[in-house]
């Protein structure tokens, strides 16, 4: 997968060519609950990936939400609440609900 453009949870994007995997059950459930709660069909694919945190992107006309399973688990653990994972995934869903086109390239951390 190649993701030259997208909206990342954090602008320090480390991997524009991530490996993607099937999402874990918790993330799949959270996304399903969010979509049902706001009354939208899930018109994007959810994938676990070796990205830094999470991002909404497109490839070949298909919309994706990519998330790092370890980041999401640690973020949720640090917050001591299941709502942390909901926040991250809802943020990415918001990019798709808003029909963001991801025209701008992902920004790289310049040091």
CATH number of the structural domain spanning residue 46: 3.30.2010
105 vs 38 pLDDT, higher one = 38
Query: Is the residue at 102 inside a domain?
Result: no
pLDDT of residue 36: 95
Asked whether the predicted pLDDT for residue 12 surpasses 60, the reply is no
62 belongs to a structural domain = yes
Report the percentage of the chain scoring pLDDT > 90.
32
How does pLDDT run across 17-71, given as a tens digit for each residue? 888 999 999 999 999 999 999 999 998 999 999 888 888 888 888 889 999 899 8
Q: What is the pLDDT of residue 13?
A: 52
Q: What's the confidence (pLDDT) of residue 111? A: 36
Q: How many CB atoms lie within 10 A of CB 12?
A: 13
In a domain, 91, yes or no: yes
Mean pLDDT of 73-88: 82
- Specify the number of domains making up the chain: 1
Residue 111 located in a structural domain: no
User: Residue 73 pLDDT more than 90?
Assistant: no
The answer to whether residue 109 scores a pLDDT higher than 70 is: no
**Sign (positive/negative) of CA torsion 10, 15, 20, 24?**
negative
Torsions phi, psi for 57 (to 5 deg): -155, 175
* Assigned domain for 82 exists: yes
Give dist(CA 110, CA 40) in Å, integer.
38
CA 88 from chain center: how many Å? Answer: 7
Total residue length of the chain: 111
- 42 vs 50: CA distance, rounded Å: 22
């Amino acid at each position: 997968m190649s993701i030259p453009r997208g909206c990342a949870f954090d602008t320090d994007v480390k991997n524009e060519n991530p490996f993607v995997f099937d999402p874990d059950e918790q993330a799949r459930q959270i996304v399903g609950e969010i979509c049902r709660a706001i009354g939208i069909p899930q018109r994007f694919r959810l994938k676990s990936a070796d990205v830094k945190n999470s991002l909404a992107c497109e490839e070949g006309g298909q919309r994706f939400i990519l998330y790092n399973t370890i980041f999401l688990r640690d973020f949720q653990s640090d917050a001591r609440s299941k709502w942390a994972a909901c926040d991250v995934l809802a943020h990415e869903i918001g990019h798709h609900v808003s029909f963001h086109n991801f025209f701008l390239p992902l920004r790289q951390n310049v040091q």
